[in-house]
Amino acid sequence: MKPLEAVSLRDIVAARSRIAGAAIRSPLIRLDVPGAPTELWLKLECLQPIGSFKIRGAFNAMALADPALIARGVYTGSAGNMAQGVAFAARRLGVSCRVVVPDTAPRAKLDAIARLGATAVPLPFDDWWGVLRDHGHPAESGHFVHPVCDPAVIAGNGTVGLEIVEQLPGVAAVVVPYGGGGLACGIAAALQALRPGVPVFASEVETAAPFWASLRAGRPSEVSYTRSFVDGIGATSVLEEMWPLASSALAGSCVVSIEEACTAVRVLFERARVVAEGAGGTSVAAAMRGLSETADGPVVAVVSGGNIDTHVLTAILEGRAP
């Protein structure tokens, strides 16, 4: 696959106009955590209509696609959040939607896919990851919307960066959950254009942190994958075409433990009354640990989604690791 290049500020600004009727301008709020090493702000993408930032990239990509291709139906590969974004846009356009999901996808996300009128097609995790790696599945038909490796998706995601700069002009650093890199790289493109020098960090979880491992090796590397409640991020490798972009655009990766992710989800609920899924909690966990070595000022943690199973959230709030 051809390596992806950074999207332009012009692309991101244009995307904002296209998605205006679908995505909201998500709130940016201060999180007061006693003893925290930095001033911490939360970009609440968990409050989007589908409970995730994915509505931004999905809607922009669908708006730019050839209508003749879209009319035949669409499909994507997703652990649940991009699935909802594509399904949401497909329902608006009146076309069919199928979603190839990993067999580890949580019930909350599967139920949401069904509510939006899409059909979920479960595959073993490695086979599902192959759909993202290979840009499609031979058994599926219709227009494939890649959840990560699409400039239109990345530009749509970059609108989060536009809003952060407008809402907090003095932002010193941004931490973004890293699944495939589309959100982090989109935000980094906006920050690079509007606030050069403000670093954007990835956050990953210890059960699957391929970007961190790849940065250490200086090349895309494979890692072991252990299933956990942090289902929205984590894979066995970095997508090859994303590596040149992600490795140059992002300042580094902060790997957090399952316990730290649980603590972050609990803190968000108890102190901000925010419901976050595991992936969305990793950025907060990383920021609470501290980025003071590179960030002298306010740090924004992007809470990427809030689609978490009720029993998982209950366990976390009771102090148990799900």
Which pLDDT value is given to residue 289?
A: 86
Specify the 3-state DSSP secondary structure of 253. strand
Q: What is the mean pLDDT of the segment spanning 254-258?
A: 96
Using one digit for the tens of pLDDT, what is the confidence trace for 147-162?
999 999 999 999 999 9
Q: What are the helix (H) ranges across 135-200?
A: 151-167, 182-194
User: The pTM is what?
Assistant: 0.94
Q: What is the mean pLDDT of the segment spanning 126-151?
A: 90
Which pLDDT value is given to residue 231?
A: 87
Q: Is the confidence at residue 35, as pLDDT, over 90?
A: no
289 or 80, which is more confident?
Answer: 289
The least confident of 56-60, 240-244, 287-291 is 287-291
- Give residues with Cβ within 8 angstroms of 194, minimum separation 6: 9, 161, 162, 165
Which pLDDT value is given to residue 295?
A: 65
